[in-house]
Structure 1
């Protein structure tokens, strides 16, 4: 990218990233409030059952993401990347704002969880078109030089969405009484989406179509059924599987272990105060930012494959001992809260988990586009990516919690992500191609 092109790319990157930030903020605020939603929408005499129901509703939004990916991914290959962006941001914003006005179970009975699940389905469809499609859009604007570094910033939008949501909730918990927060304070993050939606929509109106798609429109006939063409082509089909299993699923497992399940674990299993867990979550997210950008930069230097494989291996080795230590240190901290060493040790453990995540997701944005030919890139990248994030990552908190309850252990369920990451690392070592020098016009 020349100096002349830099301001143009920065404008595109900021607008694309802000829209994706809003998608993640809307989508993950639900996860941050899962413990709060449990008694409000799924009242039960057993708190564990209510929590499982709340986590399952979070998972429903993830499960339908592949449907949104199939629909909007194909649209992106046929009508362009930009129009799809406008549709997905509007759909996500509408669904999220509506969550802020939902009646609770005490007010509307069974209709409360039904409406909540319905809006969660709309969120999932929108996220399926946005997350993955935005990676293709940004990478096609990035050019051929330093793609890993320039596109790694998009991966910060998920953690930034969680950070913004967590800061809001921490402020609200500190400003409001527990009764006020439980009554109406939890709605505020959803109401704020109205303002963010207007900003994101205006920013996206100014976006331009990608140069790759414009060139494709001039020289080639756009495929009528891009998704079907992907499955018919053995080469593309193989790469879709590798993207699904090694890159996207590996990143999703680590993301939900580090950014979602750790907070749930510290609140429910270790019994740390929600305010303290929010502080630790903020620290872990801030640590993830420079690590992700570093991983993207490193993939431009030594290649995408070795960086991704290192993250998968580190995650498979570190997850189980990290959560064991989180509980041990957390319990000791509860006995002696004045000892700041416990807080520091927990923060260091979260940093180690964040490093594994960063190594996988740092090069991920560039690889989503680099693995596939231009004419069917959007559909080929978005479906396996959202399938992995939805079915593997999105259901991970529910599966891990269920396995823990099934075996009456705080860590039995963590064997699931451990084995998955180890298997993904082996497959990546054997079959994942190196893509850092691939031309995006091919």
Structure 2
């Protein structure tokens, strides 16, 4: 394979570049909207397609469906990466956006599990698979397409709009949900209104196709085609090209692993944390995250432009180190500001559950032991607890199956499910726990938005320059495949499974903050890889011996 590509094509004009950025960014926004609307409406999707008496299990099943889509992203990267390197950048991401739009609209048409039984979740999973395949081809195509049009000195700035567009898809999903909630009553929205954001995908699909059909092929791809320097098998050559195995390893763990876990922690974990354990009003939570997301979009563009001056490595290293230092304090701050009363109750009246065989399985529809059922009730209420399963000492001898809440001792032995759930909540409320949905004070709302924006900064530092970096790391002939495969393995498995894994950790530990350790460990390992493997110095085009 030749190592250079002749630059026989004329440089794109400023007008052409603006069209390229606008069309690619809009398509990316719409495609990520399609993917994120599932997560934004997680609780309603759970009730419609994954009903269970175990509320925690119901939500975990939704996140499992979310993860399935991510799990198929690497396969989509292989398939569409091959097509993108063989047939062209433009037509490949036309196919991906079409597939995504059709699959997303389909979710809005599926009858509920109450109507068609297990077929409902099965169809949902199938459509999530199609979405994952489509998304596996979308990011690489859009990022490369913009990067190959951009002048070298502005590549980070121009491609940063693609990164900002990913946040834009999340923001758009919240805007659409809020709009639907405004025009549809809460009862009707829960019954059928939640389907409207999915059906809107058809409209977004036509807009995206109209914009992208106006585009011409990438000048780099045109030059390769004219010179006869196309890869024969981009997938195979991605692993045989000299030095590419190292680049793929670095792209997977040192770039994708860092950015994707921080991104999903900042936006999805932040959203779930506020409206879950912190019990904020759902509408208020969505507005808070919307405002923070809109502000955060600008950070990606600023970081992309900054990387054109200082190189791609520095922002990523700074962002990863800052995440390790600030992640837990930011979430502690969110907890203190969003529901001060609940935070104070957890401090002043800690919960200790005592019992033998005190294991809680979030994936079981019914727990095997009384103690496990008690932990399930506490988890469903979103409160933190500790477990003493030694069952030794005077307390265990005096009372069967005791639970200690502050300075009060209660027994949960022999209670039916209904009695136990009602009693547990009553016991907690006696000790000051308040389970009503909260609307924080204006000052606290500003503080919450500021902390979410801080998470947005961490995400922007590790993501804003990535499209340019990955484009520059790999040879043009196999670029679509080489960057898409590690990116989507990292985003698909390390990031896509984050809500499920973090939710499982929280459910099994009884600590609302414990799931953050998953992000912390992935970022810590990724930082070492990034420090070792990301090229130093100013940005530069691909160099075979780099």
Identify the TM-score tier after normalising by the shorter chain.
Answer: over 0.9
Using the alignment, how far apart are the partners of 1:156 and 1:226 within structure 2?
28
Q: CA deviation at 1:91?
A: 0.7
Residue 436 and residue 81 in structure 1: after superposition, are their counterparts in 2 closer, same or farther (change >3 A)? farther
Task: Give the structure 1 partner of residue 516 of structure 2.
Answer: 414
Counterpart CA distance in 1 for 2:225 and 2:440 is 64
Q: CA RMSD in A?
A: 1.8
Q: 2:81 aligns with which of 56, 73, 76?
A: 73
Structure 1 residues 439, 191: CA separation in 2 closer, same or farther (over 3 Å shift)? same
Structure-2 separation of matches of 1:256 and 1:419: 14
2:211 aligns to what SS in structure 1? helix
1:242 equivalent in alignment to 2:250: yes
**1:441, CA displacement in angstroms?**
9.2
- Return the TM-score normalized by structure 1: 0.96
Return the index of the structure with the highest Cα Rg.
2
Question: Does the C-alpha gap of structure 1 residues 344 and 87 become closer, same or farther in structure 2, counting only changes over 3 Å?
Answer: same
1:140 corresponds to:
148
2:385 equivalent to 1:377: no
Question: Post-superposition shift, 1:249?
Answer: 1.6
Instruction: State the partner residue of 1:215.
Output: 223
Partner of 2:502: 400
Deviation at residue 436 of structure 1 after TM alignment: 4.6
Q: Does 1:122 align with 2:224?
A: no
Which string of whole-angstrom CA distances, capped at 9 and with x for unpartnered residues, describes residues 44-66 of structure 1?
Answer: 11110000000110110000000
Q: Distance in 2 between matches of 1:316 and 1:375?
A: 37
Alpha-carbon distance between aligned partners in 1 of 2:499 and 2:186, rounded to the nearest angstrom:
25
Structure 1 segment 22-421 matched on structure 2, within 5 A = 22-332=30-340, 337=439, 339-421=441-523
Partner of 1:432: 534
Residues of 2 paired with 1:107 and 1:216: CA distance?
54
> Is the Cα contact below 8 Å between 2:84 and 2:92 reproduced in 1?
yes
User: When the two structures are aligned, how many residues end up with a matched partner?
Assistant: 441
**What is the CA–CA distance in structure 1 between the aligned matches of 2:136 and 2:101, rounded to whole Å?**
14
After superposing on structure 2, the runs of 4+ consecutive aligned residues of structure 1 that deviate more than 6 Å are 333-336
Change (3 A) 1:209 1:317: same
What is the CA–CA distance in structure 1 between the aligned matches of 2:258 and 2:210, rounded to whole Å?
A: 34
Structure with more helix by fraction: 1
CA-to-partner distance for each residue in 1:32-79, whole Å, 9 max, x for gaps?
A: 011111111111111100000001101100000000000100111111
Equivalent residues of 1:163, 1:285 under 8 A apart: yes
Separation in 2, partners of 1:189, 1:88: 20
- SS across alignment from 1:271: coil
| Counterpart Cα distance in 1 of 2:460 and 2:329 | 19
Q: 1:326 to 1:374 in 2, by over 3 A?
A: same
For 2:35 and 2:439, the matched residues in 1 are separated by 33
Note closer, same or farther for the CA distance 1:3–1:62 as it changes in structure 2 (3 Å cut). Answer: closer
Deviations 1:182-220 (A, max 9, x none): 111101111111111111112111211111111111223
- Secondary structure in 1 matching 2:200: helix
